[in-house]
Every structure is written in C-alpha cells, then in structure tokens.
Amino acid sequence: MARHAAGRLSRRQLGWLLGAAGLSAASASVLTRGAAANSSTVPGHGIHSAPASQEGPPAATPVLGDRADGGRVWRVIAGGGVMEELIDAVAFYPEEITINAGDAIFFENRGFHNVHFLSGASVPPFIIPDPDPTATPSAGGPPTLILNPEVALPVGGTSYDGTGIINSGLPLDPSAPPFVLTFTTPGSYDYVCSVQLPEMTRRVVVQEAGGAYPIEQADYDRMGEEAMVGQIEAARAAVARYGAAGATPVAAGGANVYEITAGFLEGPMDVLRFAPESASIKAGDTVRWVVRSAPVTPHIVTFLGDQEPPEFIVPEMATAGPPKFVLYPMLVVSIGGAAFAAGEFLNSGLLGGSGGGDTYELTFDAPGTYAYYCPIHADPTNGMIGEVVVE
C-alpha cells in the first residue's frame, strides 16, 4: 500500500486494481501517470495479463508438479483477457479443480484479483464509508468512501484446513512471493475474488491423500485456454455489435437520442470500452450512455472542460498502519445539468453502482468535437476514452 503513496504504480495498473468495485458499487482509477507497464501472455494465444508495476523484478514462478514431500503443486489462473483491447476476464481457470490433501495450488494472477476463502463468512465490500467520524461530510454532501483493506491486503497463512479466512490480497507488489496455498483437509471449498463478485466464484475439491486424480494439470490448462479464446472472440463480436447499434438514433419525442454503451459484460469478459468510441450527431441531439456491466463494474462519464484531470484515489498517510485511500468525492456524484456546456466540468457520477442509475444523458447544442473518458479505467488520452462529434 505504501507504493501507492510513493507513486510507484502505473495509472492503468491502479485502474485495474480499483476499476471493478462489484457489489460494493464503487471503484477508482489511479494515483500516478506512471511509465508504460509490462504484460505477459498465455503461450500460443496472445492472451495478456494485467500490466505489472515497474517496481522491482517479478517473483519466481513456482514449479508445478510432484514435490519431495509427496504432495503436488497445481495451478489456477485468475483473470486474463487482452489488455490492448481493454477486455478483462472476470473468471478463474479452471472453474473447479480436484486435488489431494497435502497438495498446493499456485494461484497465478493475470489481472487485478484476489483469492478469498471465506469459510462461510460474508464477503466484505470492496469500498466502504470512511469509519473515521471526523471524515463525515456535512449534511447533503457526498459520502467519504475508502478502499477496504480487508479486500486489498493479505490475510491468513499459506495453508487452509477449511476454517478461517485466507485472502491473497491484491497483487500490489510483483516482487512479493506468489500466492501458493496448501490444502490440508479433505472437503469442498468455495472461494471468490471479492473485488468482482458474483462472477468470480469457484471451487477446490480436496480428496484424501493418495487419491487418483481425475485429470492432470495439462488438461486444466488446455480447457482454460480454449474457454478463454472463445470468450475473447465473443467479446470482440459484442464490441462491434454495440458500436453499430450506437450509431443509430433512438426516437424519443421527435428528438434523436444516440445510445453509447459505457462498458459491458459478455459472458465472463468485462469490456472496458465505450461503444462506439466516436459518435457523430447533430446539434440539438442527445447522447445517452448506458452501463451494461452492473453490478460487476461501474463506470463514469467525465468531460473535463478546462479542468485538470482529478485523481480519483487520494492517499492519506497514517501515523500507524497502512495509509487510507479516499475516493475523490466530486467524481462519485453527478456534476452539471442535462445540457452540455463546452469548457465546463461535467460528470455522470458512478454509473452501475453505489445506488446510482445505469444511464446518463447530455444534450449537445453547439457544434464541435468533445472528448470524454472514464476516470476509473483511463486517463484523458489512454484507455476507456470517447468523443462526441456535433455537426
């Protein structure tokens, strides 16, 4: 967490860390405009992971297979997708894995996810109101929201017997040891990514020690890659479909209303894009942005006008313990009216979460080209960006 305060994570990396608040209904973009990030691929398919921080070398990958103690190390992949196309897998591969007591699983994180074994406890929200009573805003003001450390930070040890809470934490530091968990007791154990529930709920089945494995690691890998490739192709087709639909105005009381999809889910793929990214309309027409990824991933539509881009997460250092990360209140709520005004800051507030709606509308009267972006998943020039061209 201290690396956030030091500005050592890239803008996009923090977007992937905080960009899907799920049922907690809030998320965040970034602290810094850091250097370009690295990515890795699934061999043979060009399936990219989330970018890694430039802070330090990555930790060594665990060796899969049989161990000297008689156990075996397996692998489950968390996330994936194609970063260049802003397509993020909200899934674990495989969905279910069968191992023996004494075996371990290496959870390979290819996105910004955590691995959370709750043992029947409730899933903690990703974003919470600031518990500090002095942080409460005045009556009528927007709430003060912070990142929940119960989701972001590791909890528990390196073995699991079916009781207690184990959380890998989010992958903030690529030089940290990989998350490898040993299962000591037979049983069937559900786990989640508590950032993106309910889509990322999966299971580990633990047999008695020495039992015959139903399939091998290579089988799990092959099935996972085949599933992901098909899901990515479906997401690409959906981008084209939504983009074409948005180019056609929807009649509304004699006026033209153009719909733009502001992020959507296609199966387990979370597409962090505006579709279409460029919309051409006439003066007097209205644009309606529709979020189709609720409640997994909220988005924001922001026209900066003449303002500098605000940071959505603001670190507050503490005298003891980790820093507190506060969501910038003016991006949580709607700013401005229903009519677009060039040069003014206009903001939808969180869409698809935090009790807000899934749509946002603006009417454009003056010709021009107006750029906007989602500050959760982009900066003004990269990532989830769009433009409205008014003729």
**C-alpha 382, offset from chain centre:** 16
pLDDT of 186 reads 98
Q: What is the CATH number of the domain that holds 312?
A: 2.60.40.420
Q: What gap in Å lies between CA 343 and CA 357, rounded to an integer?
A: 25
Task: Please give the residue that has the higher pLDDT: either 151 or 19.
Answer: 151
State if pTM tops 0.75: yes
Residue 250, pLDDT > 50, answer yes
Q: Would you say residue 235 lies in a domain?
A: no
Residues 72, 166: one domain? yes
Q: How many domains are contained in the chain?
A: 2
Residue 242, pLDDT > 80, answer yes
Residue at which a domain ends, from 172, 200, 230: 230
Residues 184, 312: one domain? no
Residues 165, 260: one domain? no
Residue 76, pLDDT > 90, answer yes
Q: What gap in Å lies between CA 127 and CA 147, rounded to an integer?
A: 5
Task: Please give the residue that has the higher pLDDT: either 380 or 144.
Answer: 380
Residue at which a domain ends, from 176, 204, 230: 230
Q: Would you say residue 58 lies in a domain?
A: yes
Under 8 Å between Cβ of 371 and 383: no
Residues 146, 277: one domain? no
The 10s digit of each residue's pLDDT in 18-75 is: 433 322 222 222 222 222 222 333 322 222 233 333 344 556 789 999 999 999 999 9
Residues 99, 199: one domain? yes
Structural domain including 374 reads: 247-390
The 10s digit of each residue's pLDDT in 200-234 is: 889 999 999 999 999 999 999 999 999 999 999 99
Assign 201 to helix, strand or coil.
strand
pLDDT of 6 reads 37
Q: Would you say residue 237 lies in a domain?
A: no
Q: Would you say residue 15 lies in a domain?
A: yes
Residues 26, 85: one domain? yes
Q: Would you say residue 37 lies in a domain?
A: yes
The 10s digit of each residue's pLDDT in 320-349 is: 777 777 888 888 888 999 999 999 999 998
Q: Would you say residue 287 lies in a domain?
A: yes
pLDDT of 330 reads 83
Element (H, E) at 357: none
